[in-house]
Amino acid sequence: MFKRIVYLHLFLFSLLQAGTLNIGEKARYDLLEYYEYSVAQKLNDTPQMALGQSWDRDKQRLHKEPHHAYWIRFRLENPTTQTKELYMIMERNYVALMEYYQLKNGEVTYQGSEGFYRNFDTTPFNSSLRTLPITLGGHEDVEVLLKVQNFNRVDVPLKLVTKDYLIDHYQTYSLLQGMFFGIMLIMMLYNAILYFLVRYKPYLLYVGYVFFVMIYFAAYHGYLHRYIGLNPQYIYIFLGTSAIGFVVFVTYFMGQVLLLGKHFPRLYKSFKPILGYFVLLAGGLDIAIYMESFAYAQFFFTLLSGTLPLYAVMLLYTLYALAHKQVSQFALAYAMSWTVIAIVGVALMGVHLGIVPVGLGVDYLFQGAMACEAVLFSVILAYRLRELEEEKKEQQARLVHQNRLTSMGEVVSNIAHQWRQPLSEINGRVLTLDMLYRQENLTPEVLDRHLNGIEEVTEYLSTTINDFMNFFDTKKALQLFEISELLDKAFRIANVSAMAHGVALVNTFKDQGELRGYPSELLQAVLIVMHNAMDACRENHVQNPTIIVSIEQESQYLTIAIADNGGGIPPAIIDSIFDPYFSTKHQKKGVGLGLYILKMIVERNMQGEVTVSNHHSGAKFSLKIPKYFAQK
């Protein structure tokens, strides 16, 4: 009885001291301004023990270390005659321990608790918000005590709301959160599909950091507990792990997209030990939470929250340096968008450190910035991929041009060989005519015969020039051409080299009809195979070397088959011969681009297919080309 009287006097005394809110007709009240604070001497202190302690309106005057628990109290009074059904709400966020007590006349009438190691048992209905019910009869008052243990004694911004306000607020809250997670999920799936289609690594890194952002906010707002029943202890472990996972994936994403390793190799290398440092801090935080050591958890959390802003500044410096160097037209867009995210992110770290006020809604701003960034970066990635495709096309064009230049010396040599005999014949006929004229034995019949011979030889020389001009023609317009005529040109161009090395060129094709495509590039492709076949016959010292060219017709396709008896291709390398810069020849005879260009011409430019196989005496290349195709 005496003990009860003492508690009653303490309660009455505390009512005189505690900040009091007179509840009127408003639908919402911010309770933070009514708080008073006191240190919890022990983690298992009871409300009655706290009532007799000294209280202060300034939380910063509490003398204990930041990781110690503390008390919050305030008083609610209903001056009307109506019963009021109210709720106190706040975000889940980082709270290691929260015990909630309602006291009337010194007696606890309602209590609840939650935190790292306690399930959420203070929510009266299915909500991801922290929701504490309170009912006040007419002219009734109640004192509320909260025992709180959280990182850096961050403010606990409770709001007192009516049921109607709570329902409307939660519907709006759920809608906005649904939009956020919906946008992030769509962007993640969209970029995951693109990665599997084009195998561009930044897409996978983008998926990774969007995934970690979703996990972070799903844990931060209580969804992991609400929907999958995850233990609170593991939810807070997910918070630290996902935050560092986001930082790691963002760093490597930027490194891949903007080629940091190429433009700032030393700076890019310095990121790795820093990221390792963050991973160690996050690991220490997770272990401390798992081991139920809040003092160590406070240490690792503060160290992590304090150093992440410095890393954000380092990233921004790198982005603006890249933008200044104009390494990409998107570098400035990256820098500006990440400036916004970094500012909001640093403010969020400031909230966790107790520097920035909680009531500013920084966590919502960060979610909004990340959602906008997700859409923006998906667009930027698409343009970046287009840039890479253009660069790849330019590189391929340079390789084709390089191959043509490499062939130019041989072509000039062929022209010299092709023209030497005809020019000798013309010179001989001119000398004969001169001699007959001087001897006065030149008759009209003899003159006509020699002039006709000269005309035939000059016509042959003109045909030879046209063949080589067509070979170096770089026009990309689709043309309708006779495949037999194109192969005849290939034979005439390659014939001098073949005769010089004793290689017999055999054609088994006749008039095979028309083909729609790029005749100059197809001619180059055929010559690549023929010259490679001649090289193989010469290097393997083949007796009676022979190259046979044939045509196989299908309804929609035409296949040019080029077979030799040069000994074939070793099985160990046959799958690699079309790779760029792969060569089995001596360095002076090639750089390994010919067959790569062949594959590129046939498959990319003419929408066909190149295959190679070994037969009994050599290799056989098959160039399968559609007879008609649309220009890309």
The CATH code of the domain that includes 131 is: 2.60.40
| Assigned domain for 333 exists | yes
Q: What's the number of domains the chain is made of?
A: 4
Greater confidence (63 vs 605) lies with 605
Give tens-digit pLDDT for 146-190: 888 888 778 888 889 988 888 888 888 888 888 999 988 988 888
In angstroms, what CA-CA distances link 552 with 354, 483, 624?
79, 12, 9
Q: Which of 398, 382, 461 is nearest to 424 (CA)?
A: 461
DSSP string across 254-268: HHHHTTHHHHSHHHH
Strand, helix or coil at 522? helix
Domain co-membership, 383 together with 446: no
Helix (H) / strand (E) containing 128: none
Q: How confident is the model at residue 212 (pLDDT cuts 50, 70, 90)?
A: very high
The 3-state secondary structure of 400-448 reads: HHHHHHHHHHHHHHHHHHHHHHHHHHHHHHHHHHHHHHHCCCCCHHHHH
At 232, list the tokens: 């609170």
Q: How far apart are the first and last CA of the chain?
A: 94
48-57, 502-511, 581-590 — which is least confidently predicted?
A: 581-590
Q: Which residues contact 356 (CB under 8 A, 6 or more apart)?
A: 347, 348, 350, 362
Mean per-residue pLDDT of the chain = 79
The per-residue pLDDT for 127 is: 62
- Cα-atom radius of gyration of the chain, to the nearest Å? 41
The answer, yes or no, to whether residue 78 has pLDDT greater than 80, is yes
At 608, list the tokens: 């066909």
The answer, yes or no, to whether residue 209 has pLDDT greater than 60, is yes
- 126, 157, 188: which is the final residue of a domain? 157
Q: Which residues contact 268 (CB under 8 A, 6 or more apart)?
A: 255, 260, 261
| Assigned domain for 572 exists | yes
Q: How confident is the model at residue 579 (pLDDT cuts 50, 70, 90)?
A: confident
Q: How confident is the model at residue 588 (pLDDT cuts 50, 70, 90)?
A: very low
d(CA 171, CA 426): 97
- Cα angle, residue 506 at apex, residues 500 and 510 outer, rounded to 5°: 140
The per-residue pLDDT for 412 is: 62
- CATH number of the CATH domain containing 198: 1.20.1070
Give tens-digit pLDDT for 439-474: 877 788 878 887 877 776 677 677 666 655 655 555
The per-residue pLDDT for 116 is: 65
| Assigned domain for 356 exists | yes
The answer, yes or no, to whether residue 330 has pLDDT greater than 60, is yes
Q: Which of 451, 623, 485 is nearest to 551 (CA)?
A: 623
Helix (H) / strand (E) containing 228: helix 223-228
- 388, 405, 435: which is the final residue of a domain? 388
Give tens-digit pLDDT for 522-565: 887 888 888 888 888 888 888 889 999 988 888 788 888 999 98
The answer, yes or no, to whether residue 28 has pLDDT greater than 70, is yes
The per-residue pLDDT for 587 is: 44
The per-residue pLDDT for 280 is: 92
Give tens-digit pLDDT for 267-281: 888 888 889 998 999
Domain co-membership, 323 together with 201: yes
| Assigned domain for 7 exists | yes
The per-residue pLDDT for 148 is: 87
d(CA 224, CA 230): 6
Domain co-membership, 364 together with 496: no
Domain co-membership, 77 together with 132: yes
| Assigned domain for 162 exists | no
The answer, yes or no, to whether residue 49 has pLDDT greater than 60, is yes
| C-alpha torsion sign, points 407, 412, 413, 414 | positive
Domain co-membership, 220 together with 256: yes
| Assigned domain for 149 exists | yes
Average pLDDT over residues 253-266: 81
d(CA 515, CA 557): 9
The per-residue pLDDT for 572 is: 84
Task: Tell the burial category of 296 from Cβ atoms under 10 Å away from its Cβ (0-12, 13-18, 19+).
Answer: middle
- CATH number of the CATH domain containing 452: 1.10.287.130
Q: Are strands 20-22 and 70-77 parallel, antiparallel or unpaired?
A: parallel
| Assigned domain for 509 exists | yes
Domain co-membership, 97 together with 29: yes
The answer, yes or no, to whether residue 310 has pLDDT greater than 60, is yes
- 365, 388, 411: which is the final residue of a domain? 388
Phi and psi dihedrals of 507, rounded to 5? -110, 135
Domain co-membership, 452 together with 528: no
The per-residue pLDDT for 6 is: 44
Domain co-membership, 380 together with 393: no
The answer, yes or no, to whether residue 226 has pLDDT greater than 80, is no
Domain co-membership, 447 together with 497: no
Range of the domain at 336: 167-388
Domain co-membership, 316 together with 431: no
Domain co-membership, 268 together with 308: yes
Helix (H) / strand (E) containing 325: helix 294-325
| Assigned domain for 412 exists | yes
The answer, yes or no, to whether residue 602 has pLDDT greater than 80, is yes
Q: How confident is the model at residue 15 (pLDDT cuts 50, 70, 90)?
A: very low
Q: How confident is the model at residue 211 (pLDDT cuts 50, 70, 90)?
A: very high
Domain co-membership, 520 together with 575: yes
Q: Which residues contact 65 (CB under 8 A, 6 or more apart)?
A: 295
